[in-house]
Amino acid sequence: MTRKSPDEKIMIPYLRKLTREHRQLDRLIHSTKPAIARDELKALKRLRLRIEDKIVALQRHYYGRSLAG
């Protein structure tokens, strides 16, 4: 078993939190797509992409690659 660095002990839970937020936003976007204004939908999609970018950057930093599909 490999020991986790102090950074990893902090980042792994943060990465999980970001992943949950991304999934929640994805579900919200798909479930409310026809009911919300176009500008609101764009804002939600931009937020989802920013979160996804953070996830990928953290995965690359700590694991050397993206774990996302």
Spatial separation of the C-alpha atoms in residues 51 and 35, rounded to whole Å: 23
Give the CA angle between residues 53, 45, 40 to the nearest 5°. Answer: 145
Identify whether the C-beta of residue 66 lies closer than 8 Å to the C-beta of residue 59. Answer: yes
Tell me, what's the pLDDT at 64? 78
Q: Where are the domains of the chain?
A: 10-63
Question: Tens-digit pLDDT profile for the chain (69 aa)?
Answer: 567 777 778 888 999 999 999 999 999 999 987 888 889 999 999 999 999 999 999 888 877 765 554
Rg value, the chain, Cα: 15
| Contacts with 59 (C-beta within 8 Å, 6 or more apart), sequence order | 15, 65, 66, 67, 68
Tokens of 58: 């953290």
Q: What is the pTM of this model?
A: 0.73
